Chains A and B, each alone.
Chain A
Amino acid sequence: MKRFASILLAALMAAVPLTASSCGGNTSISSPRASYTKDLAGTTLNVFNWGEYISDGSEGSLNVNKAFEALTGIHVNYNTFDSNESMYAKLSSGAVSYDVVIPSDYMIERMIREDMLQPLDPAKLTNYDLIDDQYKNLFYDPDNTYSVPYNVGLVGLIYNTTMVEGTPDSWSVMWDEKYADNILTIDNPRDAFGIAQFLVGVDVNSTDKADWDKAAEKLKEQNKVLQGRVMDQVFAKMEGGNAAIAPYYAGDFLTMVGNNPDLAFVYPKEGTNIFVDAACVPKNAANYEAAMMYINFLMEPEVALANAEFICYASPNTAVVNNPDYEYYGEEILYPDPANLPPTEYFHDIDPEIRSYYEKLWEGILLAG
């Protein structure tokens, strides 16, 4: 037994450097647009971002954090979260201090309201002119005081053409008994409710409880045809042909279709959710100057391009969008012509009473199914 254990241990130890060496990639950018100093070399910058949401050097891509370290000497301590809510829970507990966080629009709105963010220094953000005007002055940060857009995206319907007849153009296909047990939905109340709200024609940001009740009724009806409620499992489910229909983010569809060409994508006619994820600096940040440098660095054309190609989400950066060498240049799913696009709605921060009301409804839906 002892010998057996030592063999296993040896095998494990051999495997460790292997995984470590697999994330090398490109670790510098050739021609930074802004100037970066080494004044803060040796300090640490704590970054909190979504999982799988930065070019990390795998498959020969640019390792954004390493490139930043090479340029500034600042050590990047990078951590990830899997939902706006869990990010908020961690931050509001006060037990952590991050210098840069990248939440979504409605969460930024909430954090501004709760005085959890601090203003950015426009003089330091010299690359800000690259951000597309349509993503400036949005509802969550009307004067662009607190945030710099990182990625934008839309929710749409992914379907398997071998399993679904014709081209679905409505969210109602997610209730179609023909596809019973082959339908997935997003395991997160705001997105799941959003779909039902578009379908029954009520405002996704309604403050009227009756509107939420109406959507909840609709969602309850869906229980009997649902195969499951998923987040990241959607990749395995759709790529493996395990389910026929799933709503998800347009950028992720591009990843999925690369692995299963039978998949197709549509923006349902009732309308859909549009979102912006943006970089912010929390109130209790310890390294504000480094945070400014990092946010400016994220807007560098080379960095933004690497991120856009790695993450596959739409970029708010004009240097990326207008670059003919960009892998998704003119890609219609990511950058749809507004004329062909159904109405889009941002999720706004919702007043706490309505929030706990729909959370309660959501729990009821889960328990009923």
Chain B
Amino acid sequence: MKNRSFLQRIIGAPYVLWAAIFIVVPLLIVAYYAFTDPAGAFTLDNIRNLTDYGTIFRESIVYSVVATLIALVLAYPFAYVMSRKREKTQQIMMVLVMLPMWMSLLILTYSWMGILERNGIINSLLAKIGVAPLNLIGTPAAVIFGMVYNYIPYMILPIYSVMSKIDPSVLEAAEDLGSGSASKLYRVILPLSMPGVVSGITMVFVPSVSTFYISQKLGDGKILLVGDVIERQIQAQNNYNAGAALSLVLMVLIVLSLALMKLFAGEGDDNLYV
């Protein structure tokens, strides 16, 4: 693909333009704000002040790593099972996975507030069978649950798409050559599905680590993540510079973790999403 034809360039042009206007330029603006003071003069103070936020970066990463791992553990077997079903069943399962994505994250999260509340749906049901109410909302578990719930489709879909492309004859060959089901999984399916896993992890980790709405609503305003601090800086304190510095560092952290993951996953994969 080194020598792109004229036609290929023409076809790619609209997206290149789109990316330049809506991705590259905004990134440059973020960088500009991060390194300037309100008067527009160059400064490193915004970056230096970030040392106050060490804990919050650490916590945001822990929350989103846990959420990503849970999503992976749930999604991987599901995607495998789904990819081995009849065509018709696969389509139904696909719709079920996508259905929540058709609703706004705001509405989904707001609904979960009502379900997880002290006198919410879960606790009312528990009360009916004589179980003491649980503290669900306002806990780290609620926030992690919200992340898993909202982003798990982004884990299932890429893994499923890779798995459904595994040629059944490859699996048959593994069996013919004496692979048990365990070794078939570890030596054939897992390596072949790795690109999907890497994409899935990326697509769950990135929105989780930068979320603010889920933590605000399901954390009862007590659990603060980087996204919340950024939102507060921009909306409440009108401090674009500090907000931009936080965003910039968050982006660098995300890029670093993606690079690290690519290293582990092995290079040269024809990966669609990373």
Residues of A within 8 A of B (CB): 1, 4, 8, 83, 85-86, 88-89, 92, 181, 187-189, 226-230, 233, 236-237, 240-243, 356, 359, 363, 366-367, 369
Contacts and interface: CB of A to CB of B under 8 A. Distances in A.
Contact of B224 (A86, A189, A367): A367
B234 A89 contact: yes
Given A1-B95, A236-B117, 15 more contacts: A1-B92, A1-B94, A4-B95, A83-B235, A83-B236, A85-B235, A189-B236, A226-B222, A228-B137, A240-B120, A356-B237, A356-B239, A363-B229, A366-B222, A367-B55
Contacts of A241: 118-119
27 contacts: A1-B91, A1-B92, A8-B102, A83-B235, A85-B235, A89-B235, A89-B238, A92-B238, A188-B236, A226-B222, A228-B138, A228-B219, A228-B221, A229-B220, A229-B221, A229-B222, A230-B220, A233-B113, A233-B217, A236-B114, A241-B119, A242-B120, A359-B236, A363-B232, A366-B222, A367-B55, A367-B56
Q: How large is the interface on B (under 10, 10 to 19, 20 to 34, 35 or more residues)?
A: 20 to 34
Contacts of B221: 187, 228-230
Given A228-B222, A233-B217, A242-B117, A359 B138 contact: no
A92 B240 CA distance: 12
Contacts of B117: 236-237, 240, 242
Contacts, number: 67
Contacts of B118: 240-243
A359 B114 contact: no
Contacts of B224: 366-367
B138 A227 contact: yes
A243 B238 CA distance: 32
A261 to B, nearest CB: 16
Contacts of B222: 226, 228-229, 366, 369
Contacts of B217: 233
B257 interface: no
A348 to B, nearest CB: 18
Interface string B183-224: 000000000000000000000000000000000010111101
Contacts of A8: 102
Interface string B85-99: 000000110110000
A252 B91 CA distance: 48
B91 A85 contact: no
A236 B236 contact: no
Nearest to A92: B238
Contact of B235 (A86, A187, A229): A86
A188 B236 CA distance: 9
Contacts of A83: 235-236
Contacts of A363: 229, 232
Contacts of A4: 95
B43 interface: no
B181 interface: no
A85 B119 contact: no
B135 interface: yes
B8 to A, nearest CB: 32
Contacts of A226: 222
Contact of A240 (B56, B94, B119, B138): B119
Nearest first, the 3 closest Cβ-Cβ pairs linking A and B are A228-B220, A229-B221, A242-B118
Interface in B94-139: 94-95, 102, 113-114, 117-120, 135, 137-138
B15 to A, nearest CB: 26
Nearest to B114: A236
Contacts of A1: 91-92, 94-95
Most chain A beta-carbon contacts within 10 A, residue among B56, B102, B137, B221: B221
Contacts of B138: 227-228
B220 A359 contact: no
Interface in B218-274: 219-222, 224, 229, 232, 234-239
Contacts of B114: 236
Given A181-B135, A229-B221, A241-B119, A359 B91 contact: no
